[in-house]
Structure 1
């Protein structure tokens, strides 16, 4: 079996997880639109056109045909809607794309749509607004209070997220966020609605959690892994502990059953005075998945077995409670047992011949 991980970026750990699972039974190929550290770990790597380039999908299809790829797994929010539109195109050439349906991905990528989806289905979620006038009305009637969070509607990570403590800051940061969106890669999706590219959100004060809500490849709910977050950096979890939280586990089951998503659904949640709130949803492997994996969950193995129509034992997706994980920073380069320059040259060469 040959698996292609797209938009892999710095997710070298995921490449290694899949390589460990496949062993001698397959290959892990890595794609990204620029050279990146994840490429150093793949059996083969390639530099692709930009995701929104009209040549992106034709390039991937040709690469898959040349290299006999069986499965594509996208790893980045922007990649998800593009590949979900093309599931049947890839199916026609014998390639399975592991991605949720386009409609649900749009809900996840659009934080305003996420808010409305969660509210409609009875989940607690922070009050969210599209414009300053609506926020000021809510402040005047006492339903929300400063501080408030200002961020891109189609954002990811911690790009252009600000905290406003008063009306003056709110107005300045709202305009600053719009300006930052237009000068970043967030501009493409934000151009879907130039009038409202920014959201303003109630700030939650409570304990933050991350959930890995795991469904099988048919969208059937399997389990929820709850991680208590102790430290964050640049929008990703730096330190977390695997815990038991029945309220959040129940929410995970309800959401997984409701959405019918494929594979992992990464969720940010809060517990505020004992009430569980859902903040955001990401229909992919999230930055917090390594903490689940460190505690014994092996979703790559489950995916591999599902693809072979083999049963997945409960232990494969069951974490060890109480395990604490930490993210580390390290430099990857020559002299560390990795032929860095050669690997990246190979990726460039693969781009050229495709």
Structure 2
């Protein structure tokens, strides 16, 4: 099997998780727009390709799939998924099994206001969100919306350009800092996350909950597996709802628990930064993905994980002669 990990970035550990499930005949292909990509370490084939903004980006990916006879495609980038989800038919025509959400699911996850509307319509708790400044100010004046408030991009990833407004002047500045900003009520409480895996029919195979202990640059840095049946139930319901709209493969969801309710904060239709703890707990989503990609019938794995698992990330230094680090022929001293 030839597996393409698009925008592998710093997710070399995911490539390693896949490699641990493969034979010597299977090939992992990684792509990036720079040879300075640590995730290449565990890729058998390392390809430097144009930036996503380039008109050559999609044709290059399609050509790679054709030339390398790619069987399975996953992406670790929200911006990349936004491109791939709108071109699934092109990859399917090449015989590629793309574990990428449908265009509809992608819009729900990529557009945070659409995500808010979806969660609200489906009956999930989520922070009140505004895309119009005047409507938010009106509710503030009527006492329906209280400071502090969160201001963040409608289309964004991680914690880039996320602000906390303590009063109206700050709210005005932050909202108009960039186009397409959202205003959101702040929920105070413990942060949680779940990793969900769906099969090709959009059925939930696994849900693993974690309590977050520390974050770094919008990504889980320290966490522990927790016993939260309510999170598992939400994961099943949310995964099923998205599965009916065309989601397949991994799903990462962030929550805040304010002791009254669990508020869904973010939907990520891919492996998230907190996945390693689910893997350590026995989740092994790469194995599930490989089995469903081969057409195997995989039974529900819900509840099949250890609860006494913790995770802390550390810096791992990669180095040596450039021949051992970079793709052949691309290094410039």
Shorter-normalised TM-score: what interval?
over 0.9
Q: Does 1:115 pair with 2:126?
A: no
CA contact (8 A) 2:2 2:26 kept: yes
Q: Does 1:308 pair with 2:294?
A: yes
CA contact (8 A) 1:217 1:303 kept: no
Secondary structure at the aligned position of 1:21 is classed as coil
**In the alignment, which residue of structure 2 is the partner of 1:346?**
328
> Which residue of the other structure, out of 261, 270, 295, is the alignment partner of 1:284?
270
Structure 1 residues 146 and 347, CA, compared in 2 at 3 Å: closer, same or farther? Answer: farther
**In the alignment, which residue of structure 1 is the partner of 2:6?**
6
CA offset at residue 144 of structure 1?
1.8
**In the alignment, which residue of structure 1 is the partner of 2:53?**
52
Structure 1 residues 347 and 164, CA, compared in 2 at 3 Å: closer, same or farther? Answer: farther
Q: CA separation in 2, counterparts of 1:348 and 1:319?
A: 42
Q: Does 1:294 pair with 2:250?
A: no
Q: Which runs of 5+ in 2 are unaligned?
A: none
CA contact (8 A) 2:207 2:302 kept: no
Q: How many residues align?
A: 327
Secondary structure at the aligned position of 2:5 is classed as strand
**In the alignment, which residue of structure 1 is the partner of 2:163?**
162
Structure 1 residues 221 and 255, CA, compared in 2 at 3 Å: closer, same or farther? Answer: same
Q: CA separation in 2, counterparts of 1:317 and 1:217?
A: 20
**In the alignment, which residue of structure 2 is the partner of 1:30?**
30
**Structure 1 runs, 4 residues or longer, greater than 6 Å off:** none
> Which residue of the other structure, out of 218, 229, 232, is the alignment partner of 1:246?
229
Q: CA separation in 2, counterparts of 1:314 and 1:126?
A: 31
Q: CA separation in 2, counterparts of 1:39 and 1:316?
A: 32
CA offset at residue 52 of structure 1?
3.1
Structure 1 residues 317 and 90, CA, compared in 2 at 3 Å: closer, same or farther? Answer: farther
**In the alignment, which residue of structure 2 is the partner of 1:72?**
73
Q: CA separation in 1, counterparts of 2:135 and 2:64?
A: 49
CA offset at residue 341 of structure 1?
4.1
Q: Which runs of 5+ in 1 are unaligned?
A: 179-193, 350-354
Secondary structure at the aligned position of 2:28 is classed as strand
Mapping of 1:83-162 within 5 angstroms?
A: 83-162=84-163
CA offset at residue 106 of structure 1?
0.8
Q: Does 1:232 pair with 2:215?
A: yes
CA contact (8 A) 1:230 1:239 kept: yes
Q: CA separation in 2, counterparts of 1:114 and 1:314?
A: 27
* Of 55-64 and 299-308, the range deviating more from structure 2: 55-64
CA offset at residue 112 of structure 1?
0.6
**In the alignment, which residue of structure 2 is the partner of 1:188?**
none
CA offset at residue 318 of structure 1?
2.4
Secondary structure at the aligned position of 2:194 is classed as strand
CA offset at residue 207 of structure 1?
1.1
Secondary structure at the aligned position of 1:322 is classed as coil
Secondary structure at the aligned position of 1:281 is classed as strand
Per the normalisation by structure 1, the TM-score is 0.88
CA offset at residue 84 of structure 1?
1.7
The CA deviation string for residues 258-296 of structure 1, in whole angstroms up to 9 with x for no partner, is: 110211111011111231111110111111111111211
Secondary structure at the aligned position of 2:147 is classed as coil
* Of 309-318 and 56-65, the range deviating more from structure 2: 309-318
Q: RMSD over aligned Cα, in angstroms?
A: 1.8
The CA deviation string for residues 94-139 of structure 1, in whole angstroms up to 9 with x for no partner, is: 2221111111101100111111111111111001111322221111
Per the normalisation by structure 2, the TM-score is 0.93
Q: CA separation in 2, counterparts of 1:22 and 1:148?
A: 47
Mapping of 1:184-199 within 5 angstroms?
A: 197-199=180-182
Q: Does 1:271 pair with 2:271?
A: no
Q: CA separation in 2, counterparts of 1:147 and 1:128?
A: 13
**In the alignment, which residue of structure 2 is the partner of 1:214?**
197
Secondary structure at the aligned position of 1:212 is classed as strand
**In the alignment, which residue of structure 2 is the partner of 1:17?**
17
Q: CA separation in 2, counterparts of 1:78 and 1:154?
A: 9
* Of 131-140 and 11-20, the range deviating more from structure 2: 131-140
Please identify which structure carries the higher helix content: 1
